[in-house]
Amino acid sequence: MLNLYIVRHGETEWNTQRRMQGWQDSNLTERGIEDARALHDHLIKVEFDSIYASPSSRAFKTAELIKGERKLKIIKDDNIREIGLGNWEGKTTEEIEQMDPKAYQHFWKAPHLYNRESVETFTCVQKRALKTINKLIEEESAGNILIVTHAVTVKTIMGHFQKQSLEKLWEPPFIQNTSVSLIRIENNLPSIVLYGDTSHLQEAYETY
């Protein structure tokens, strides 16, 4: 049995400012760090065989916090980075909506129609992300693998396993920061065990 734990990075400064990040980056907030530590505690009994992370520092730092004292090297993988957004990156959602209203509408309301020159589509993200996911499934027959990535990447991966069209990409659940999705492959058959789970955050806040 193979378990793929797919996690979104912790909250960042740009998340709080509603700025689109894409391939650019911003630091984890204090809450982002605390939430990643809460997820570390939540997954402390899981014996991970390997850890993969997007090369973006927000994802890599989240992976380091979840890893904790485990003696594992974090493998950076470009295939699981966030969608590239070109000149949208670093701008607020309000700024983007004003400068490019049609594309912005497609991004959130009709993702299957989103197509801007010289930047990635959701199909592009899904194809590259699945290269890594499928390789892991083919090469690893059993074990636990942690994958720390981004919201769009998570949604495209999970949509594939749901056999869902990209038109429905943004249907619930919402992928919150440090949420966990778990795909289990048993007898070559994948199943979704968790999708956007945030129970570790509830546990952490109950202790305050």
> Which residue in the list 34, 40, 42, 82 is annotated as catalytic?
82
pLDDT band with cut points at 50, 70 and 90 for residue 207: very low
Active site residue 206: no
Residue 185 CA to residue 202 CA, distance in Å, equals: 28
Q: What is the percent of the chain with per-residue pLDDT over 90, rounded to a whole number?
A: 95
Query: Is 19 among the annotated ligand-binding positions?
Result: no
Query: Is 18 among the annotated ligand-binding positions?
Result: no
Contacts of 110 (CB under 8 A, 6+ apart): 167
Q: What is the DSSP string of 15-35?
A: HHTTB--TTS--PBPHHHHHH
Q: Which residue range forms the structural domain that includes residue 125?
A: 2-206
Query: Is 9 among the annotated ligand-binding positions?
Result: yes
Active site residue 112: no
Query: Is 40 among the annotated ligand-binding positions?
Result: no
- Per-residue pLDDT tens for 138-179? 998 899 999 999 999 999 999 999 999 999 999 999 999 999
Alpha carbon 166 to its chain's center: 16
CATH value at residue 89:
3.40.50.1240
What mean pLDDT, rounded, does the chain reach? 96
pLDDT score of 91 more than 90: yes
- Per-residue pLDDT tens for 36-70? 999 999 999 999 999 999 999 999 999 999 999 99
pLDDT score of 204 more than 70: no
Query: Is 13 among the annotated ligand-binding positions?
Result: yes
Q: Is the pTM of this model over 0.75?
A: yes
Number of domains in the chain: 1
